[in-house]
Amino acid sequence: MLTFTLSSAMILSCLAALSNHASAEGGPPRALSCSLKQAIQIALGPDGNRQLQLAQQSLRLAQSHSNESRSALFPDISAAVSGQRQLQSLETMGVSIPGLTIPRTAGPYNTVDARMTATSTLDLSSIQRWRAMRKGIKIAQGELSRMQDQVAAAVAKAYWTLLRAQALVQSAQESVKLGEALLEFADHRAAVGKGMMLDVTRARLRLVNERGRLLANEIQQSRARFKLLQAMGLSLDAPVELTDPLTFTPAQEMPLQEALATTFESRGDLQAQQDRVQSRRLLSASINSERLPSLLAFAHYGPQGLGFNRTVNTYAEGVALRLSLFDGARVASRLAASRAQLKEEETLSSDLRAQAELEIRESLESMRLAKKQVDIAQEGLSLAQEELAQAQRRYVAGITNNLEVIEAQTHLAHAQEKQTEALFAHQQARIDLGLAMGTIRTLLQ
């Protein structure tokens, strides 16, 4: 099972930004500056993602069930002290001697008894049931590992989503600056009689559209920040500052068979499902073993008498062999139900492996196509920048109006967005592949 090592110093240094204030006079809290690795560590920490906390409680519950089933294998030892005052009817007890007159009652008299009792049952069914409960711990561990993978992937996707939103906001801000510069130049040309008012109107319309696009991107940025904070398990009021850039991360192509082998070995949900199958087999064996004889050993020892100063030590010990002769088909019915559940778990196991293979194939193909998309977007951005430079030179030289410049600015804005989306898509495909293989936490380290 994969583990993700938490660095206490790194988490504390990252969380310290939430509690420190800008000044002693009560200034606003400092922004939480963290990398993707730090964000994942916070989410996987004790006070991080709430879904992960629930999975950890499920592991503790499975451990408790295992300990409970193991207790059936140990002797049951108890102690008791009793005292009573009795008056017995001799007639009801059958005490009668012909020719003699005996009292009708005996007593009253006092009796005391202090006794330690031990019993122990040895049967194969209890042993098999305990082994099945131990598999429950491995199931919970596998589910916890998978939940850690899913939390890491969710934080990574939210992190890259916020980076994409920030890049789109920055692109829109640059487009607004270009629009303002174009409007200023158009106003100047119109004022000196070298331009038309139509150019000014076009420039203003272009600027208004870019400001609207900037506002829409800022809204998306705010939403992306909330989702990241929620995935990390932090307060939604916490300011956050991302330190990792949205860049292209080269990834070595992996053969399909190698990826599948890693997947079947590393994914926690696949391991958990295999343990479910084994657990169900052990439970079926446990039910079937109830038909076998069981051995019961018992013993008790302690002082007994008419008072604490008139006691003698008494004891009893023995063994008993118990064999079920007829149970009204109770064991057979339970065994049939357990075998049906075993068949269901085996079917789910095959289906899960097939689903994992599908996810691997889709992720590998997405990675390949995303790499091409990044290359195409980079080439388109270079051409758009060159187009804008040429259009600006033609407009300044008076060869054409500002329509070419506006179109070139639009093409550049679209090219910047496509590059951002291509980088984001590649990172998403990279995360999906790591999650499908069960190596997402190692990948993001």
Cα gap 425→443, rounded to integer Å: 17
Here the CATH number for the domain that contains residue 103 is 1.20.1600.10
Higher pLDDT, 258 or 196: 258
Q: pLDDT-based confidence at 239, cuts 50/70/90? A: confident
Mean pLDDT for the chain?
86
Q: Is residue 379 part of a domain?
A: yes
Arithmetic mean of pLDDT, 105-124 = 89
Are residues 367 and 254 in contact, defined by beta-carbon separation less than 8 angstroms? no
What's the number of CA atoms in the CB half-sphere (13 Å) around residue 54? 7
- The whole-angstrom distance between residue 101's C-alpha and the CA centroid of its chain comes to 84
pLDDT in tens, 275-329: 999 999 999 999 998 888 999 999 999 999 888 788 899 999 999 999 888 888 8
- Whether 98 is covered by a domain: the verdict is yes
Structure tokens at 290: 């109830």
Looking at the predicted structure, is the pLDDT value of residue 228 above 90?
A: yes
The residue type found at 351 is D
Distances (CA, A) of 378 to 207, 247, 265, 326, 423: 25, 12, 37, 79, 10
pLDDT at 31 over 50: yes
Q: Is residue 326 part of a domain?
A: yes
Find the helix packing angle between 330-396 and 403-437, rounded to 10°.
160
Q: H-type helices in 267-329, by residue range?
A: 268-289
Q: Give CA angle at 209 (207, 211), nearest 5°.
A: 70
Q: How many domains are there within the chain?
A: 1
Indicate whether 183 pLDDT > 90: no
Which residue in the block uniquely carries the two structure tokens 């190692």? 442
Give yes or no for a cis peptide into 250 (omega within 30° of 0).
no
Evaluate whether 92 touches 98 at the Cβ level (below 8 Å): no
Cα–Cα distance measured from residue 138 to residue 273, given in angstroms and rounded to the nearest whole number: 10
To the nearest 10 degrees (0 to 180), the angle between helices 330-396 and 256-266 is 130
Helix axes 197-232, 403-437, angle to 10 degrees: 10
Q: Is residue 178 domain-resident? A: yes
Confidence of residue 238 (pLDDT cuts 50, 70, 90): confident
CA distance 405 to 392: 6
In whole angstroms, what is the distance from residue 380 CA to residue 398 CA? 27
Phi-psi category of 102—alpha, beta or left, where left has phi over 0 and alpha has psi -120 to 50? beta
Q: Which amino acid type is present at position 283? A: L
Instruction: Count CB neighbours of 366 within 10 A.
Output: 18
Does residue 106 belong to any structural domain of this protein?
A: yes
438 found inside a domain: yes
Q: What is the pLDDT of residue 212?
A: 94
For 61, residues 6+ apart whose C-beta sits below 8 A from its C-beta are 140
177 within some domain? yes
Residue 3 in any domain: the answer is no
Residues 330-339: what's their mean pLDDT?
Answer: 92
Q: Which domain holds residue 437?
A: 8-444
